[in-house]
Structure formats: C-alpha cells, structure tokens
Amino acid sequence: MHLIELQNVSKRFGQKSILQEISLTVRQGEFIVLRGTNGAGKTTLLNVILGLLQPDMGTAMLLGRSPLLPSAKTRVGVVLQKVSPPKNLKVKELIDLVRSYYPDALSTEEILNTVNLAGKHNDWAANLSGGQEQRLLFALALAGKPDLIVLDEPTRNLDLEGYADFWKQLRLCVSQGKTVLMVTNNQADWKELVSLTTRTITLDNGRIHEARHSAIAKPPTTPIPERKQVAMSKGGIPLFYSSSDASLESLAQATSNPPAENSPVLSFGNDSILRGFLPQLWAESLQLLRTPTYAIGILLFSSAIALFPPDERLGMLGVIFFAGLSLLTIAFERTGKRVAVERVEGWLKLLRVTPLHPFAYLSAKVVMSLVMSAMSLLLILGLGAWKLGIDQSLAQRSLEFTSLLLGSIPFTIFGLALGYLVNPKSVDSIAGLAIPIALFTCGLPLPVSQVVQDAIAYSPFYHYGQLVLWSAGLSNDGYFWLHVIWLLWTGCAFVFLANWAYQRDRTME
C-alpha cells in the first residue's frame, strides 16, 4: 500500500488552472521536498492530498483510503501554515485534546519533551511566541505517532533552539522509517535537507518535475548530541538519548510502532466519532467557563425578565417569547460565530487533517449551545414564574422547557451553517437581522393583510412560536403535529444546508 497516490489530479479556481493531471506516488520511507514559486500550487497540492480540497478531476488516496475519511488520517501528522491555536486553552490542554483524536497517541509528557516545551504546559497556547507556537504545531503533528508527516513551511518563525530541536526530531523520525513530505522556502533548510531528501518535486505551471537523489533515506550517521535532560515515556523508554545511551538504530526499534495487519489505519471506523466527542465537549466547556463576560452577559440578559409587568396572562406570553428570543440569539450568535472564528483562524482546517470526525466537532458545538440555552431557560422561566406569581405544575413547566429547548435545535444547526458560510462579523449582522424577522413571523397578532399572514405560516419561527404557546397553555390551534413536523422538516433542511456549507468550505479552501 502506497502512503500517497495521486492519479491525473487536476484543480482549477475559476478560470485559473492550478494543478494539471498530476500523478504522484509516495512510498514508505521516502523524504520528498516539494518546491515551486509562490502561487505555483504547492499548498493546493497538499490540500488535495490531505482531503482539504477535492480535485476537479482524478483520484487521490491517502494510506490506501480516500483522504476525505477521518480514518485515513490516524497515522498522518501535519504542520500547516497560518494556524492560530484556540483561545482560553493551555498548552497541555490543547495537546491532550488533539492526542485524544488518535487511537494510539504519544503521552502528553513525551510530546512536550519532544519539542522542548515541557516548561510551558500551563501557558496559554494563544500567548506563545511565534517560535514556541510553531513548536507546538509540530508537537501536535507528532501526537498520533504518524507514519506520514506532511510539513508546510515548518521552520517558519522558529528561534535557533527550536530550529535545532526540529531537525533533531525530524532526523529521528527519518531513522524510524517515517515518510516525510515537506514544503519549504527557507534557504537555511537546504543544508539540512541534503542528506535526507530522496526526491525533489518542483511544481511549475501546474505540472510536476521530479529529481531523484537516492533510493530510501538512510539514518544519519552522526549520533544525536547528548542532552542534559532525559525524557521518559510511559513504558520507560527514553525519548532523548545521548550518544552513549544507544545507537540510532536501536532507538528506532524501541520507539517506532508500525501498524500491524489489523491496525487502526485499516480498522478504525465509526468509533472515531465517540473518541473525539467527549474531549471536544470538554474543551468547549473550558472555553466557555474562561469567557466570563459572555456567560455574565447571558445571565444578565436572562435576568431582565424580572422587569416584566405583573400581568399574569400578558406577562406569561412575554416570558415565553423572551425565552425564545434568548435561545435564538444563542443559536445564531454563539454557535455560528464560534465556528466562523475557528475557521478564519485556521484551527478548523487543522482539525480536518486529524482523525476527528466532523460530526463529533459539530455535535459538541450543538450540545454546548443547548447547555447554555438550558441555563438561560431555567433562569427566565424561574424568575418569570416568581415575578408573576404563576402557580404551575412541574409537568407544565417541564413541557414548556422541553418545547422551547428542542424547538431551538433547527436554528442552532442553521447557526453552524452560517459559521461555514460567512466571517464572524457577518454572523453578527445576520443574527441581528434574524431576530426582528423571528419576532415578526412568530405568530404574534399583527395588523397585517391576509396574504402576509398566509406567508408567515411558512416561517419556521411561526411553528416554533405556536408549539411553545401550546406547551404554555396559551394557544391551541389544533395543528400540533403540523408544527412538530414542520420543525422536523426545517431541521433536516438545515442539516443539509450545514453539510453543503461544510463541503463548500472544503471546495473553496
């Protein structure tokens, strides 16, 4: 099985042809350098290989599978350009998160020691210097014990110590028989690459030209310089050896872990969804807890229900619509904006070259949105009942809570689609526009013509409003199941929209 196999791959952007009928095979143990002028299509080619882009023509295979499948990336490590770590996560937490995506990952201690970031584990990932951030990205690439390492300008922004550590670790990877595909425009790298490169591929006018240097890269003959600190793995095997500890050959045998016949590369399937969901949800929770201004804002907004007039019927109607307004705001602004921010910062792109299933990522966003919505609902309904002196049974309040919360799910999914379609500022603008539309079409009695009322009946906000009014005992138009089915249909339509937006983002990457 070849690690990478491209057959007649072509890719265009508009009228410009970037890749033209490229065929490429990468075998185990090769060290390939990809060269080309700026705009030649190097990053586009890497994106096709990694499944970030779909070719217009031809086929691409990664580790014997379609690169679009998360299971094709369980033994692939990648360093991308222009990736910003998510805010409000520490270095150790971020490494714990990424390594949880892989079925057979290195320990967090090994990863930190590998890139010489052991003393930075409690630092905020977003506050690292440029060189330290680049080391962190390389550490994430090594987290899953990759057989294939894809590097796009990996030495960019590295300081002298980080640069030296990078090449020591990369030579160690080569000695273990790992395959490397590297793009670099750093002239200082070429001195290091002379003894490692097996092939140089140059992209020119959308086509590749190869220069073969040797067969398969051999382990470097010089021993790894002695280090003062020896980092131990879980099994007691030193990660860094001095020249007196062991030869590079024995080090490679001790630390390498090639996939067996029934390895995760071939058998790791749908359990990747469960593998990534809980760690992703925990990371979402940490980021929410560490953004107190947003949480406080939601609580203050929800507490404003205490200002409503003490009229029981009109007040209860106001409570219901105020609760719906709060939930729609969270669905559009919070969920959609989080996805949009991570997409713009490049973090979402990095996640897509890991085994994390997109469903696990998106489900964690939806669940966190529902948790926030539930907190807001409890506050609004509780304060509203206290303020108005409403005496309701537990069953009645539970029915109101459930209909409000579950009915907001389609709009949360729509928020996900927005995150893939527009930038963060546009999400705010669309959310600001959607709220008045929701109020106008939710079923409030308005002095409008019959034609407008008939048009409003097609709005999902109308069916959401009618369902919630029914749960509160304020209205029963006899079309309960119609409202439920309409919301279910809307939810399915928004799922297809979110999937289309995700695929569009992949195509336009």
Tokens of 287: 């980021």
pTM, entire model = 0.80
Pairing between β-strand 148-152 and β-strand 76-79 as defined by DSSP bridges: parallel
Residue-wise pLDDT for 390-437, tens only, equals 777 888 889 999 999 999 999 999 999 999 888 888 888 888 888 888
Rounded Cα distance between 478 and 60, Å, is: 55
Q: How many Å apart are CA 29 and CA 174, to the nearest integer?
A: 7
User: For the chain, what's the residue count?
Assistant: 509
Angle at 325 between CA 320 and CA 326, to 5 degrees: 100
**Average pLDDT rounded to a whole number, residues 3-8:** 93
Three-class secondary structure of residue 391 per DSSP: coil
Paired with 232 in beta bridges are: 238
- What pairs with residue 83 in β-bridges? none
- pLDDT, tens digit, for every residue of 45-75? 999 999 988 899 999 999 999 998 888 999 9
| Contact assessment for residue 5 and residue 67, using Cβ atoms and an 8 Å cutoff | no
Q: Is the pLDDT of residue 187 over 70?
A: yes
Contact by Cβ (8 Å): 169, 117: no
pLDDT at 310: 62
- Sequence letter at residue 407: G
Helix (H) or strand (E) holding 441: helix 424-441
Position 288 confidence tier, pLDDT thresholds 50, 70, 90: confident
For residue 484, give the H/E element and its range. Answer: helix 480-508
Amino acid at 91: V
Residue 313: pLDDT band by 50, 70, 90 thresholds? low
Q: Is the pLDDT of residue 255 over 60?
A: no
The pLDDT of residue 165 is above 80? yes
Q: Which of 45, 53, 79 lies closest to 153, judged by CA?
A: 79
Separation of alpha carbons 171 and 223, rounded Å: 10
Please compute the mean of the pLDDT values over residues 184-200 and round it to a whole number: 89
User: Quick one: DSSP state of residue 236?
Assistant: S
Distance CA 268, CA 153 (A): 30
Query: Over the chain, what is the mean pLDDT?
Result: 82
Structure tokens belonging to residue 188: 């200082």
The C-alpha atoms of residue 198 and residue 186 are separated, in whole angstroms, by 18
Residue 16 has what pLDDT?
A: 86
- Identify the band that residue 260 occupies on the pLDDT scale cut at 50, 70 and 90: very low
Residue 253: partners with Cβ closer than 8 Å, 6 or more residues away:
none
- Give the residue from 321, 304, 300 showing the smallest Cα distance to 465: 321
Question: For residues 352, 356, 357 and 359, what is the CA-based torsion angle, rounded to 10 degrees?
Answer: -100
Give Rg (Cα) of the chain. 27
List, in order of start, the domains of the chain with CATH numbers: 4-254 (3.40.50.300), 272-508 (no CATH)
